[in-house]
Amino acid sequence: MRAPCCLLGLITVLTGLFLVTPSFSRNIDELEALVRRNAPENPIRIAIGIRINQIEFVDQKAENFGAVGTLRMEWQDPKLAFEPEADEQFFRVFTPEGFWDFTQKNRIYYPSFTFQNQQRRRFVHQAGFAVLPDGKAFYFEQFSAVMQAPNFDFRKFPFDTQKFFIHVTLNRPAGHAEFVPIENFSRLGDLLGEEEWILTDVHTEVGVHEGFTGLPSSRFSFGFDGYRHLDYYAVRIFLPLFVFAFVTWATFFLEDYRKRIDIAAGNLLIFVAFNFAISGDLPRLGYMTFLDFILIAMFIVTALMIVFNVALRHLEAKGRTEFAKRIDLYTLRWIYPISYFFVVLFAAYRFLYTTSEV
């Protein structure tokens, strides 16, 4: 449905409410009480479902995602019932504009709604209504839209599981109309076209939340979880980090401390470039991620190795070569590998075990 139809539907509802009031200046609490008093005994129940056909993109920096999907709604309204004519089909088909005109002319409920976490414009590729003789109505829409994903939490990156949602809210206040999920309809398609994420765990939920009118409205939530293909991070990030750590450790077998310093300084620059390359995929966060901690820890250890080798070179220049070699051997065997072991162990406990995702 197009935005003008939704706005006109909302204006019709609010105008009907305000006509019985002496002034337009009553506050939202009075308006909500008025809505409750005028609520029908049996609100219209609208069955709704969403099927995602494609995931166009997941933008982690902007914290949104693009999706192509199918929206379906069903409801029963006796005012829509009709007697088919002799040469008429057993159902009537309307365009969104045609159904809007028909409902307004005959004072029939029009199910206007809003994608609450939608960003930018929603493109409706195909849309239409179908009405059966008994008054059962259907709405079908194929759309593409950009949806906000404010629940992204990157603390466990790249072992994080992110939550994706599409929220659809009725424009008419709760008590007048309410959503119920269509059984066995809402799901993800088989060919989503998303290579970075593994998307699973589809779930739906119906609740009452504040609509854009400021009044409580029925909201349908279609959600799914996504976790990353770890092969990429294992080959492109963790394997190079392991190689860097191994190369730094291998320099301890060199007896020339100056060459050690040169190699460690080169590794330090690589860590800096590596950190910039990885940070380009994420927003500027106000917290540290698992991978941030690993990179910073390795950066600090490598910097300490430069300081350590400079100290050994200083001892050698002072003629204390044997003392420098004893310290070097002790560091080679114990301090360096144990330090990395505790860094990884602490990071796993701090970020992967104790951090709960939103």
Give yes or no: residues 135 and 263 share one domain: no
Q: Which range (63-67, 79-83, 200-204, 306-310) has the least confidence?
A: 306-310
How is residue 156 written in tokens? 């466990």
Give yes or no: residues 93 and 164 share one domain: yes
Angle between helices 336-347 and 290-317 (to 10 degrees): 160
Give yes or no: residues 211 and 64 share one domain: yes
Domain ranges, residue 7:
3-226
DSSP string, 69-87: EEEEEEEE-GGG-----TT
In the prediction, which pLDDT does 48 show?
A: 96
Which of 168, 195, 226 delimits the end of a domain?
Answer: 226
Q: Summarize the confidence of residues 50-64 as an average pLDDT.
A: 92
Distance CA 260, CA 306 (A): 8
User: Parallel, antiparallel, or unpaired for β 113-115 and 161-170?
Assistant: antiparallel
Give yes or no: residues 243 and 334 share one domain: yes
Give yes or no: residues 257 and 133 share one domain: no
User: Structurally, how many domains does the chain consist of?
Assistant: 2
Give yes or no: residues 162 and 36 share one domain: yes
Which of 192, 207, 226 delimits the end of a domain?
Answer: 226
Give yes or no: residues 201 and 266 share one domain: no
Task: Please choose, from the candidates 218, 184, 226, the residue with its C-alpha nearest in 3D space to the C-alpha of residue 51.
Answer: 184
136 pLDDT more than 90: yes
Which of 226, 254, 282 delimits the end of a domain?
Answer: 226
Domain membership flag for residue 49:
yes
pLDDT single digits (tens) 252-292:
787 787 888 888 788 778 777 777 777 777 778 888 899 88
Give yes or no: residues 330 and 196 share one domain: no
Give yes or no: residues 217 and 246 share one domain: no
What pTM, to 2 d.p., does this model score? 0.78
In the prediction, which pLDDT does 357 show?
A: 56
pLDDT single digits (tens) 66-118:
999 999 999 999 999 988 877 667 888 999 999 999 999 999 989 999 999 99
Domain membership flag for residue 358:
no
CATH number at residue 27: 2.70.170.10
Give yes or no: residues 126 and 65 share one domain: yes
Give yes or no: residues 155 and 259 share one domain: no
In the prediction, which pLDDT does 325 show?
A: 82
In terms of average pLDDT, the best of 90-94, 182-186, 209-213 is 182-186
Give yes or no: residues 208 and 237 share one domain: no
Q: Summarize the confidence of residues 25-38 as an average pLDDT.
A: 60
29 pLDDT more than 70: no
CATH number at residue 332: 1.20.58.390
Distance CA 54, CA 275 (A): 32
Task: Please choose, from the candidates 76, 74, 58, the residue with its C-alpha nearest in 3D space to the C-alpha of residue 66.
Answer: 58
Distance CA 49, CA 221 (A): 9
